[in-house]
Structure 1
Amino acid sequence: MPLWKIYHPPGSFSAADKKALSERITECYRGLPKFYVIVVFQEVAADSFYKGGEAVNNFVRIWVDHIARSFAPDAKAQKAKWLSWAEKALAPYIKDRGLDWEIHIDETPFDLWQVQGIAPPPANSEMEKVWVQENRPVPYSSAEENQATDVRPA
């Protein structure tokens, strides 16, 4: 799952903006089940949002948790390319509106994740293709579950 937490000043985004931005973010994750992508918009009042010890009302902080996929530690080009895609998705709603912003990505180990009590299928597996097609977690048969948990990273 990618979980995007977008902390922003009140009124920065309309309901239509939030829907459109969440769709743009979801498009950054082609090949994953769409339901994996979660976006949370959190308004933060100026008297509760500080940068450098000063209250701010034009700053957006984005915290992304990646679990379904992670970057190889030495994949600098891949990381830069992905951040470029993210920046392009965000630009019309943040940069182009004159807001300041910052983004960072945390990566949680895949084996510390479940969806509705089910271990997600391995990347690019046949079962993951089922999850993509159904756009929901689909329970495994006993044999499939054993295979899925056997190939999960230790």
Structure 2
Amino acid sequence: MLRSGLILAGVQQGQSGAGEDGVLTVLEAAGLDLRGTQLVVLSACETGLGEVRQGEGVYGLRRALVLAGAETQVMSLWKVSDAATAALMGEFYRRLGRGEGRMAALRAARLGLLRGAIRPQSEETQRAIRLSSGKPTTGRPANWQNPYYWAAFVISGDWSSITLYRTPHAPR
């Protein structure tokens, strides 16, 4: 459980904070107190992978987050497109905010990419997608219908809707 983890932003610049190395190992994640945390989304590449142990299952971030008390985890199983992931997660969060269940929101966001209802907003993003996919850079808008763009994300845990909390001073 020491070989898996997340490298956090700022680690290369030494901005992790006093006594911190900028790496959250699976062992450290398992020791966190995440009781009451309704949803943890790890949208980076391959965050749902781990070491398989016969008779024990998969040791990785998902298991560590469950041990720490997180109700639901969303993770990726392979390398993902930054632009498609941003669009997918944006739609996922919009749907969660409207009260949809966690699984239903992820499913609807995936279907949005599959059906072409969610598309890159800028021409620059569309061009980057075409370049990263190895397809010719024509004037046609890029699309994310290929499962590579949306099928990497899996959800584990509670599938119901989340409870949104408002602070007393938050505008309504």
Question: What is the TM-score of this pair, normalised by structure 1?
Answer: 0.30
Instruction: Name the one with the larger helix percent.
Output: 1
Higher RCO, 1 vs 2 (CA within 8 Å, ≥6 residues apart) = 1
Instruction: Name the one with the larger strand percent.
Output: 1
